[in-house]
Amino acid sequence: MHNFSLNKSFIKALIVGSVVSLCIIVVLLCIMSAVLLGVSMLPYEYLSYIMLIFDAIAVFIGSYVAARINKESGLFIGLLNGGIVFIAILISGFCVSPETLSIVTLLKAVIILVFSSLGGIKGVNTKEKIHIR
């Protein structure tokens, strides 16, 4: 059994990982918006699935960074990072449209948690360490 302690390093890693994930989502969303302005042939129904792919990439990278900083508990920190990012996405979705809950929302939660946990596991199992002071 592994002891999960919420020490200063863990909290710092979780904050950095969440911010990295959210920043990547914003950058990818801006890129997608710029592309959509130039190409209007993409059906609106595909946007949810494109954002799902962007969310998966972002939480994988953010959880990877968080786990590399923390150096342990990759699955746990990845799941927490994914949960924080999903809640932030859900809240921002409710601000835009109150009818945001759908099957895509459930799929998004599952994908985000799976990819964030994979990123956390990969981050812990990488040999070189990231040091943030």
pLDDT tens-digit series, residues 39-74:
767 777 778 788 889 999 999 999 999 999 888 888
Instruction: Establish if 129 belongs to a structural domain.
Output: no
Total domains, the chain: 1
Instruction: Establish if 19 belongs to a structural domain.
Output: yes
Work out the angle at residue 11's Cα, subtended by the Cα atoms of residues 8 and 16, and round it to the nearest 5 degrees. 120
| DSSP annotation string for 29-61 | HHHHHHHHHH---S-GGGHHHHHHHHHHHHHHH
Residue 66 domain boundaries:
8-37+45-124
Instruction: Establish if 14 belongs to a structural domain.
Output: yes
26 pLDDT more than 90: yes
Greater pLDDT, 38 or 17: 17
